[in-house]
Amino acid sequence: LVQSKEMADLLLQRIKDGQDFSELARSVSDCQFTKSKGGQIGWLSPKDDHLDEIMDSEAREICFNQFFKPGDVNTVETSRGIHLVKTEDVMTSLSTIQRRRDRLPGNGLEQRP
């Protein structure tokens, strides 16, 4: 979490140039909850209200709607500042995969409006 677009852009460039995300988070983050952990928040889901002090629902919603890919580092701007989000991995539940597969044409199931 940083407060200016200039700092976020600088950090993104430093990460692209090979600097370690965790080291940068420890040295410059404004987030009192994750700074000492190198920016790590663990698994994130849209319904994780216990993470509100770290990342508000607005930021979580953006993360899930943008479909970030593993390895991506993105900025998410909210009322708290600019979060730099590094996606380590993505977990999709089997029920979500099944629902998506059921919507594919030619699967033998009629789609309902």
% of the chain residues with pLDDT over 70: 72
Give 74-97 pLDDT, tens digit per residue: 888 888 899 898 888 776 655 555
Helical ranges in 17-110 per DSSP H: 21-28, 57-65, 94-102
- Rounded to the nearest integer, the mean pLDDT of the chain is 79
What is the pLDDT, as a whole number, of residue 100? Answer: 54
pTM of the model: 0.68
Residue with more model confidence, 35 or 105:
35
Residue with more model confidence, 106 or 66:
66
Q: What would the two tokens of residue 11 be?
A: 């950090």
* Type and span of the H or E element at 7: helix 5-16
For 42, residues 6+ apart whose C-beta sits below 8 A from its C-beta are none
What is the pLDDT, as a whole number, of residue 67? Answer: 63
SS3 label, residue 108: coil
Give 4-30 pLDDT, tens digit per residue: 999 999 999 999 999 999 999 999 999
pLDDT greater than 60 at residue 56: yes
Q: What would the two tokens of residue 55 be?
A: 């990342």
84 and 13 Cβ atoms separated by less than 8 Å: no
